Each structure stands twice: as structure tokens, then as C-alpha cells.
Amino acid sequence: MKFNLSKSRLSGYLQSVLQVVPTKSTLPILSNVLFEALDDKLKISATDLEVSITATFDCAVMKKGIAVLPARILFDIIKELPESEITFEGTATRVEIKVPNGSYKIACAAAEDFPKLPVVNTKKQIKIDGSEFVTMIKKTTFACSVDETRPALNGVLWSTKGDMMSMVATDGHRLAKLALENTKLKGVSEDIIIPPKVLNIIPKFISESDG
């Protein structure tokens, strides 16, 4: 595996996936991130087995390969580097990080131990205004129940039908509901309960100007 990219880009994508890397876990492999160097693209993935995040972006890849690297150790190294181009080169067992004034070597975890990430059905897609979606999240997730004996109330009911999208949450004492009309759902009709942990990550990826 060999690729290079700027410190600022790598740092930004690492921060994104670090949100789901557990600080403590009975499964040590979850403290790592999966790097996949593909044809002119790099994928960085992390999971806590409940939520998974994958960042996929254009990258100068000289040699394809995979590596599973310790997330927080890697981020701490990158954070201290000066702004420059960074080259990653190595195998599935060891990676060398090269910068103009030095290099770092990191041992990799076994790639086969990293959890298989779920495959998402991308045939069903909708587009909505990003700021409106963030508003819906912030005005519903607070009403979710934290009582684990009532799993149906532990998330937000996200529904789409016709030209209407709604989000509903309740803990049995209070209820929050917001709906958007004319969202051009293209015939997608679904009812899904989404954990608030998942929804509360989304605003960090959406600016007020996003659609």
C-alpha cells in the first residue's frame, strides 16, 4: 500500500470517523481504523458495532492495499505534524508515515479481525435540505426514551411516504414530531427506527448551507 495526501485533508477525515471509535471496549480491534487504498480513492472506516462511518475521497494512490491502524495513536501523530504532504507506505502488518522532516512506523492490527461493515442499499436515495434535516434531528432526539426495557422508544421513527417525511420520538411522557412536505421522495416509502446516537452525529457533517 502506498498513497499520499495533505495533513489537513487526512486530519479532517480522521476526525470524522473517530466519532465512533470507542474509548473503551472489550474488543480491542474496535480502537482501530481501516484504511483501504483503491484506484485513486482512499476509504477510512471505523465502527463501534452500533454505528459505522466510512469516509471515501479522491487520493493519489500509487499502490493499492489495506491496513488497520490504531485510531487515536495515528490521530495524535498526524495532529503534531506540520502542514505538508504525507506519504503512507507499507503492508498489512506495518505502515511507515513519511513527511519531509522524518518518518513514523506503526504496527498494524490484523485486517481479518476488523468487523465487516454493513452493505447499504444505495438504490433508495432521497435529497432534502441539510439545515432542515438538522433542525428535525435537534427537535426530536431529545424526546427518545433512555429506558432499555422499551427498545421501540429508544429511537426516532423516521417515515417517508408520498411527498412527506416525518420524524417522531417519545419516551411515553412527551412526544416530539416534525414533518417536511414536498421533499421529492421519488416514491420511497419507509418506516425506520434510528438510534439518537446515529442521528446526533449527522449535524457535524452538515453545514447550514448544505442541501
State the CATH number of the domain containing residue 201.
3.10.150.10
**pLDDT surpassing 60 at residue 208:** no
pTM above 0.85, yes or no: no
**Residue 196 forms part of a structural domain:** yes
**pLDDT surpassing 70 at residue 182:** no
The answer on 24 and 58 residing in a single domain is: yes
Residue 16 banded pLDDT, cuts 50, 70, 90: confident
Q: Please, are residues 28 and 110 in contact by the beta-carbon 8 Å criterion?
A: no
Buried b (16+ CB within 10 A) or exposed e, 159-183: ebeeeebbbbbbbeeeebebebeeb
The answer on 6 and 108 residing in a single domain is: yes
Task: Give how many domains the chain has, as a whole number.
Answer: 2
Q: Which of 71, 87, 113 is the last residue of a domain?
A: 113
**Residue 148 forms part of a structural domain:** yes
- Determine the structural domain holding residue 165 and report its residue range: 130-205
Q: What is the predicted pLDDT for the residue at 141?
A: 96
**pLDDT surpassing 50 at residue 211:** no
Percent of the chain with pLDDT over 70: 95
Neighbouring C-beta atoms of residue 156, cutoff 10 Å:
27
Q: Please, are residues 211 and 183 in contact by the beta-carbon 8 Å criterion?
A: no
**For the chain, what is the radius of gyration of the CA atoms?**
20
Q: What is the predicted pLDDT for the residue at 190?
A: 86
Q: Which of 52, 83, 113 is the last residue of a domain?
A: 113
The answer on 172 and 72 residing in a single domain is: no
